[in-house]
Homo-oligomer: A and B are copies of this chain.
């Protein structure tokens, strides 16, 4: 079914309003980033990234019984929010350090983002990629000119090979998430989103940086995480109040097979109000709704926020239930659709 889409806010040159500043809270320096570092990140990266639009669907609003606002980071450069953190990290480096090149290990969007950020700064990028990474994400790294170094799928293999490359090249490691500059860069989503939709009462996030930015600007806002059952380390960590590792993540959402880090865990522990855990089938239902109603391409990890809001867990969750305006970050749109093209090619008549 197709439905009306409200294109809420597409001005690429939004200015920060002055009224929002009254209630801002600068968090204690116990986290790897804060509102000040996120503001600095925004200035540093603004010429390299897009201000992504916020989308709405009257059909989905009716279905969920509240107003949902979708921050379309699938439209971001490189097809995901990751370029925000990668650019902030890469452009924070002094020239003499940057020229040695940069390095990361990632199965996905961060890999392409680091390659793109390196291209923008005209320095080499070495990208350690596990062999089970989605083809479209590997293609992106190639497209941006990153040098691919293959690893096995385990986190240990990736880290060992990355260490070897670092030793050989002297390149600077840009960690996918456990890096203050990366966290600050991702946090810029919160600044944009709350300028575009100041009424938000909650944001469902894939990223700890957003919690720092959003609670810095609007301390009353609720922040909910969303995780698949097969990789629910954050939910388990919050339940036990200590870092639990994903031993062997099992989920369709390849972007969510990561781990908590010692820099992201304190943010999730203290500032994320709760984690909503959903199964893969719910994620596919969320994707389908986004494709059909908003006419946009989102990857499984990007659709989990909608799946979480529409889940049974949310319906019976007192904090979620009371929110009338919820922001959902559609984190990325890089997904292999080959089964669709195979089908379409078979259906061709000429």
Interface set of A (CB-CB < 8 Å, partner B): 1-7, 9-12, 50, 52-53, 59, 74-75, 77-80, 112, 136, 139-140, 143, 228-230, 250-252, 279-281, 283-284, 287-288, 291-292, 295-298, 300, 333-334, 337, 339-341, 343-345, 347-350
Whether A350 contacts B279 in the complex (CB less than 8 A), given A1-B139, A79-B3, comes out as yes
Q: Is the Cβ of B348 less than 8 Å from the Cβ of A280? A: yes
A350 close to B7 (CB less than 8 A) = no
- Going nearest first, the 3 A-B pairs with the smallest beta carbon separation are A10-B10, A2-B79, A280-B348
Among A1, A52, A79, which residue has the most Cβ atoms of chain B within 10 A?
A: A1
Residue with the greatest number of chain B CB neighbours at <10 A, chosen from A59, A229, A251, A348 = A348
Chain B residues with CB under 8 Å of A292's CB are: 136, 297, 337
Complex Cα distance A78/B79, Å? Answer: 26
Contact of A348 among B2, B4, B281, B343 (CB under 8 A): B281
Q: How far is the CA of A189 from the CA of B182 in the complex (A)?
A: 42
Chain B residues near A340 (CB-CB < 8 A): 337, 339-340, 343
Interface centre among A2, A9, A10, A250 (most CB of B within 10 A): A2
User: Once the chains are docked, how many angstroms separate the CA of A7 from the CA of B78?
Assistant: 14
Beta-carbon nearest neighbor of A280 in chain B: B348
Q: Which B-chain residue is minimally distant from A334 (CB atoms)?
A: B2
CB-CB under 8 A from A230, the residues of chain B are 349-350
CB A268 to nearest CB in B, in angstroms, measures: 21
A9 proximity list for chain B (CB < 8 A):
10
Given contacts A12-B7, A295-B296, A333-B295, contact A1 B50 (CB under 8 A): no
Tell me, in angstroms, the Cα distance from A160 to B2 when the chains sit together. Answer: 29
Given A53-B10, A143-B1, A296-B296, A344 and B291 contact (CB-CB distance below 8 Å):
no
Known A10-B53, A297-B295, A340-B340; contact A350-B75, beta-carbon cutoff 8 A: no
